[in-house]
A and B are shown apart, each in its own frame.
Chain A
Amino acid sequence: MTDVVIPSGLWSADDEAAISAWLYADGDAVAEGAIIAEIMVEKSSFELIAPVSGTLRIEIAAETPVRAGAVAARIV
Chain B
Amino acid sequence: MPTSDDAFVHRVAEAIASGVAVEAGDGSAAIDTDTQRLDALLRGGDSVSGWRLWTNSQCLVTTRRFAATPRFADAALASTRRGWPVFVRVSGGTTVVHRPGILNASYFEAWRGDGGEVTRRFRIFCEHLATSIRSVGVSTCLGHVDGSYCDGSLNLVSGGQKLAGTASLVRRRGDTIGLLSHASIGVTGQVAVDVEAIERFEAELGFQPSYSEDVHTTLEQRLMSAPARADP
Residues in chain A within 8 A of chain B (CB atoms): 7, 9-12, 15, 20-23, 38, 40, 42-47, 62
Interface size range of chain B in the complex: 20 to 34
Cα distance A45–B150 in the bound complex, in angstroms: 14
Taking CB atoms, residues of chain A closer than 8 Å to B68 are 21-23
- Contact partners of B154 in chain A: CB under 8 A: 42-43
B168 and A45 within 8 A (CB): yes
Given the known interface contacts A9-B114, A10-B172, the answer about A44 and B119 at a Cβ–Cβ threshold of 8 Å is yes
B150: chain A residues within 8 A (beta carbon):
43
B171:A47 contact, CB within 8 angstroms: yes
Is A46 touching B114 in the complex (CB atoms < 8 A)?
no
Asked if residues A43 and B115 are in contact (CB atoms below 8 Å), the reply is: no
Chain A neighbourhood of B63, CB < 8 A: 20-21
A-B CB proximity, top 9 nearest? A10-B115, A21-B65, A43-B152, A45-B92, A43-B167, A9-B115, A44-B168, A40-B92, A20-B65
What's the least CB distance linking B163 to chain A, in Å?
A: 15
Q: Are A11 and B65 in contact (CB under 8 A)?
A: no
Q: How far is the CA of A23 from the CA of B165 in the complex (A)?
A: 24
Known contacts A10-B170, A21-B64, A23-B64: A45-B91 contact under CB 8 Å: yes
Q: Give the docked Cα–Cα distance between A12 and B123 (Å).
A: 14
Which residues in window 136-158 of B have CB below 8 A to A? 150, 152-154
